């Protein structure tokens, strides 16, 4: 095992390892020579390197988590409850707050560096433009991380990704997965502004945050801002897939979205985007993160020209 000469890290632990960012992160860590333990609630059809120790477990189970993370030098905490995976505030709270508290305990006890993956929605929550359960619980989790850093308990850095997308079918995110499969016929809110970041670039940012030695920093990782319509058009053209046939303007999309949120307690289906987020967009600047951490944002045509769809 080759230890990084700058950091001394050699063993990484990744929560949420089978998700849109977890898979490329695990692969990159192995390529760099890290020993990797992957922790997730489920298995995945995506092939992780055979050298990875993949442990099935729940983030709320402290004993299981601690055993899986044993002897780790750095912990990447990606696991989270998002819209679609949790339907109640309690569900978000258990994973996003309780799970983070467990990860902090494990990191503090072992002396491991923590790279905590948050979200730009925390910024919206603190500016009072996003008031949903996801944004609130992720904001509270951030506060806990910062408190433990200030108390001298924890060595950590926080990464806030913007709109994350992948390029590998099955872990590309809801929108791009449907584009690659050719099943997205209708595009809602094409004028909504987003700052999309490729999952591979985000994985690079997370690794750089771990090995750079930075502490207590909060970095926003976000690619160039564009409309959702322009993003979809770029993906379709670059990947050679069919574009959506119909677009629904934002004003018309807001009405059914509001109804979906009203009836979620009966349908048990949580829309993938909040009403406030749809209205306000997701516009962020990731320049500082790229400059200080030493990574770059890949252009969409380059992404889909070099990877298999």
Q: Which pLDDT value is given to residue 8? A: 66
**Residue boundaries of the structural domains of the chain:** 11-172+196-225+283-300
Q: Which pLDDT value is given to residue 307? A: 52
48: its two tokens: 């992780």
Q: Which pLDDT value is given to residue 277? A: 73
**How many Cβ atoms from other residues are within 10 Å of residue 276's Cβ?**
16
Q: Which pLDDT value is given to residue 135? A: 92
105: its two tokens: 């305990």
DSSP, res 99: I
Topology (CATH level 3) of domain 11-172+196-225+283-300: Rossmann fold (3.40.50)
User: Is the separation of the CB atoms in 13 and 69 below 8 Å?
Assistant: yes
User: Is the separation of the CB atoms in 3 and 155 below 8 Å?
Assistant: no
Q: Give the torsion sign (CA, 110, 97, 85, 224).
A: negative
Q: Where are the alpha helices (DSSP H) in the chain?
A: 22-31, 62-68, 89-92, 100-110, 121-126, 133-150, 174-181, 199-211, 228-239, 250-262, 264-267, 275-280, 287-293, 300-306
10-residue averages of pLDDT along the chain (309 residues): 53 94 95 93 74 90 94 96 78 93 95 96 90 92 96 95 93 91 90 96 97 90 96 94 86 77 70 72 94 96 74
């Amino acid at each position: 095992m080759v230890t990084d000469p700058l950091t001394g890290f050699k063993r990484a632990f990744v929560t949420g390892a089978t998700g849109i960012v977890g898979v490329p992160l695990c692969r990159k860590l192995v390529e760099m020579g890290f020993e990797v333990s992957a922790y997730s609630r489920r298995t995945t059809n995506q092939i992780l390197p055979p050298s990875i120790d993949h442990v099935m477990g729940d983030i709320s189970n402290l004993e299981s988590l601690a055993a899986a993370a044993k002897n780790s030098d750095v912990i990447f905490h990606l696991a989270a409850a998002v819209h679609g995976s949790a339907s109640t505030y309690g569900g978000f709270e258990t994973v996003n707050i309780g799970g983070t508290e467990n990860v902090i305990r494990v990191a503090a006890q072992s002396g491991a560096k923590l790279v905590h993956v948050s979200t730009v929605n925390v910024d919206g929550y603190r500016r009072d433009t996003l008031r949903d359960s996801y944004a609130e619980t992720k904001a509270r989790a951030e506060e806990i991380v910062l408190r433990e850093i200030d108390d001298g308990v924890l060595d950590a850095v926080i990464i806030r990704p913007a709109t994350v997308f992948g390029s590998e079918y099955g872990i590309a995110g809801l929108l791009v997965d449907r584009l690659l499969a050719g099943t997205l016929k209708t595009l809602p809110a094409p004028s909504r502004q987003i700052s999309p970041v490729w999952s591979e670039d985000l994985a690079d940012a997370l690794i750089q945050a771990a090995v750079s030695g930075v502490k207590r920093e909060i970095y926003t990782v976000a690619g160039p801002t564009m409309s959702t319509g322009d993003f979809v058009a770029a993906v379709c053209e670059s990947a050679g897939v069919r574009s959506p046939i119909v677009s629904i303007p934002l004003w018309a999309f807001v009405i059914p979205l509001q109804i979906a949120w009203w009836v979620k307690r009966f349908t048990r289906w949580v829309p993938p985007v909040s009403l406030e987020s749809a209205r306000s967009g997701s516009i962020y600047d990731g320049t500082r993160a790229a400059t200080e951490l030493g990574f770059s944002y890949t252009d969409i045509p380059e992404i889909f020209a070099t990877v298999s769809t």
